[in-house]
Amino acid sequence: MEKLIITAAICGAEVTKEHNPNVPYSVEEIGNEAESAYNAGASIIHLHVREDDGTPTQDKERFRLCIEEIKRRCPDVIIMPSTGGAVGMTNEERLQPIYLEPPPEIATLDCGTMNYGGGDEIFVNTENTIIYFAEEMNKRGIKYELECFDKAMIDTALRLNQKGYIKEPLHFNFVLGVIGGITASKRDLEFLRGSIPEESTFTVCAIGRYEFPMVTQSIIMGGHARVGFEDNIYLSKGVLAKSNGELVEKVVRISKDLGRYIATPDDARKILAL
Ligand code: KMH
Ligand code: ZN
């Protein structure tokens, strides 16, 4: 089976130090967390950034500082900035990291609007927004990871692919277990996997206690794996992870036990055609 690409989503926009004191905010903390994940076997860092007080930001300068710090410590790692940012940000705010020079190799592209996390929050990605983000990334040669929180988002991505806005080769991230999105079960994952073209690649992430069971299913199915504080802060029941590296180490153990080797960043570049 193809080598396993491990993405570490080290920070996110929602989880805080109150949930787990090891969630990184400062540039140095982000560098430490990226390095721990990379040393453990992550080939991609999915990056959100924060102000020092923990406020999520899409500020281009803050991204530049964090990316420089990560590259200094992990020269060949693939850095995948978020264009989702945090609920309530404008499209222009969210897009800032794709205007960096050099542009990122890959960035996220969220494929639909949804209720987000209960309460009144809505994560807004209209069809025009998705087209606009895709076109801005196309102009800069940036590959997208298609973030699909539900089956309808896959259908939207495929429709926009047929219309020529979203380019191949398609790479999906199935995000399972966000309140407002699809639940995290083997049945749901099989449904999503069966809904994308056979030749496309996919990775899986899942929230909280569903992280490791769903990622393990993906490893068995030939998909890839994402873990990290953005999705889950526990190493096992009631045990907070000390670092993103611990979460990556656990996936590496599971994958090796299942007979699947781990992709280096350059392997990941080949698999994803970056
Ligand atoms: N924080 C969420 C609202 C992405 O990175 O593109 C969006 C998100 C997805 O995390
Ligand atoms: Zn994200």
The answer to whether the CB of 146 falls within 8 A of the CB of 111 is yes
Number of C-beta neighbours around residue 163 at 10 A: 9
Q: What is the pLDDT of residue 111?
A: 98
Mean per-residue pLDDT over the chain, rounded? 98
CA angle 30, 138, 221 (to 5 degrees): 65
- Give the ranges where the chain is alpha helix by DSSP (H): 27-40, 60-73, 91-95, 127-139, 151-162, 186-193, 211-221, 244-257, 265-272
The answer to whether the CB of 108 falls within 8 A of the CB of 147 is yes
Query: How much distance in Å is there from the Cα of 219 to the middle of ligand 2?
Result: 21
Q: What is the pLDDT of residue 1?
A: 86
Buried b (16+ CB within 10 A) or exposed e, 96-109: bbbebeebbbbbbb
Domains, the chain? 6-272 (3.20.20.70)
73-122: per-residue pLDDT in tens?
Answer: 999 999 999 999 999 999 999 999 999 999 999 999 999 999 999 999 99
Mean pLDDT on 32-46: 98
Instruction: For ligand 2, an ion, list residues with CB under 5 A.
Output: 82
Assess whether the C-beta atom of 211 lies below 6 angstroms from ligand 1. no
Report which protein residue has its CA nearest ligand 1's atom 1.
86
Tell me how far apart the alpha carbons of residues 183 and 154 are, in angstroms, rounded to a whole number.
15
**Chain center to CA of 268:** 14
The answer to whether the CB of 87 falls within 8 A of the CB of 122 is yes
Assess whether the C-beta atom of 173 lies below 6 angstroms from ligand 1. no
Counting atoms of ligand 1 from 1, which one is nearest the CA of 116?
3
183-239: per-residue pLDDT in tens?
Answer: 999 999 999 999 999 999 999 999 999 999 999 999 999 999 999 999 999 999 999
Task: Give the single-character DSSP code of 96.
Answer: G
